[in-house]
Amino acid sequence: MRETPLSNCERQFLLKGIEEKKRLDGRQTYDYRNIKIAFGTDYGCCIVDLGKTRVLAQVSCELVAPKENRPTEGILFLSLELSPMASPSFEPGRQSELLVKLNRLLERCLRNSKCIDTESLCVVSGEKVWQVRVDVHVLNHDGNLMDAASIAAIAGLSHFRRPDVGIQGDQVTVYSPEERDPVPLSIYHMPICVSFSFYLQGTYLLVDPCEREERVMDGLLVIAMNKHREICSIQSSGGIMLLKEQVLRCSKIASVKVSEITDLISKALENDRRARKEGGRCGFAESMPVERITVLKSDGAQIEMSDAEVGSEAVTMATESQSAEPLSEVGRVPSPVVRAPGAVQVGECLQNAWGLGEEEDEDDEEEEERLEMQEDNQRPMKSKSEVVVISDSEEEEVVILHPKKTQVKDSKPETKPEAPSKKKKKKKQPLH
């Protein structure tokens, strides 16, 4: 997805403000945005906020075989990623021109400046060395990604600790942090990038340009320097011609900014070291608790309720004096019960009347159905042997068929009471 281009009105507004030395966020020409550095629970995890630009750096290491031309030196690998989460203009799985440019600048700033002692990463000469990998992820893009990425990378390397290694003959043992304390990296200096944007053919310049200011700039100058005023790398892009005086002026400004940022990194490392020594957490680690569920956690407000019962008695007495009937007859409101500091409850065992009417109707219907079923069960069932009696009011005389069977049945002892058998009545035939 391509980024939305600026309109002519926006472009003219930005350039007019730069001519009048006014910026969108109210900064001066040489001012940096607020820089916030925080560390995670693991060593080597660092997150840097440069205004609204946010970058995360994670440092890791592993044992690998060294390079053939440098058998006694470790390897420093750098990788920068631009995800669509940072900006809709970044496409996943595609190396854009901006990504290639940032990766090259980061390698020149850190690896080519020899800021880390790579020989101290050697375990066995020609066989095993430590490969330190720095993965930089851009979380939000609001301009000046290079400065934020360099700060996060060097701060993560300074915060990182590699496992300790023991060698016995040909056997190499890597100790866990519980067995031996991890070993910090040997860092010679901290190179940090400072970006300068030029406008109107180099007439005006700004330090730390934001995303909208980068869209209207004519050229960009990036200077990587340490606090000893040693230039590690310098690169100009945009196709503008810069004078020697302009480059010297930018280098002086960069030296001041680099010293301030280096002090800020050192202070953040010291605060994290002190917090870990005391057993606490600081910075980014506070928002990443280990083995703890925080979904249902809520902060309770401290409320003073020591006089709640006294106040309720006063309200009760005032109500009794105003009402015609005493509350003892009507029903006194129970006194409040203080369950815990900051919590109070008035009344106990209160019944919830929500939806009681619907439940009563359902109970009545169930009771009616139950009664109907009982009545049906109580009704006598007609047996198959039962004989239907047909009566005729015109005939009075009745002839009984099979009288012998009836006598035999009557002579037998009755074990169970049986219903008397009913025979059909038949009409008497007239004699001719």
Residue type present at position 350: L
Q: Residues 111-142: pLDDT tens digits?
A: 999 999 999 999 999 899 999 999 999 999 99
Centre a 10 Å sphere on the Cβ of residue 5 and count the other Cβ atoms it contains. 9
Share of the chain above pLDDT 70, in %: 67
Helix (H) or strand (E) holding 165: strand 165-168
What DSSP string describes 320-379? HHHSSS-HHHH-PPPPEEEEETTEEEESSSPPP-TTHHHHHHHHHHHHHHHHHHHHHHHS
Strands (E), 178-230: 183-184, 192-199, 204-207, 219-225
Q: Which fold has domain 33-277?
A: Ribosomal Protein S5; domain 2 (3.30.230)
Q: What is the pLDDT of residue 373?
A: 77
Q: Residues 14-43: pLDDT tens digits?
A: 999 999 989 988 899 999 999 999 998 889
pTM, 2 dp? 0.66
In 3D space, the residue among 57, 53, 54 whose CA is nearest the CA of residue 40 turns out to be 57
Whole-number average pLDDT of the chain: 78
Q: What is the pLDDT of residue 259?
A: 95
Centre a 10 Å sphere on the Cβ of residue 222 and count the other Cβ atoms it contains. 24
Q: Residues 249-275: pLDDT tens digits?
A: 999 999 999 999 999 999 999 999 998
Fill in the DSSP letter of residue 284.
G
- Distances, alpha carbon 124 to alpha carbons 129, 176, 254, in Å: 7, 19, 40
With 60 as the cut, is the pLDDT of residue 344 above it? no
Which token pair is 173? 């043992």
What DSSP string describes 52-83? TEEEEEEEEEEEEPPPSS-TT--EEEEEEEE-
- In angstroms, the CA 432 to CA 426 distance is 18
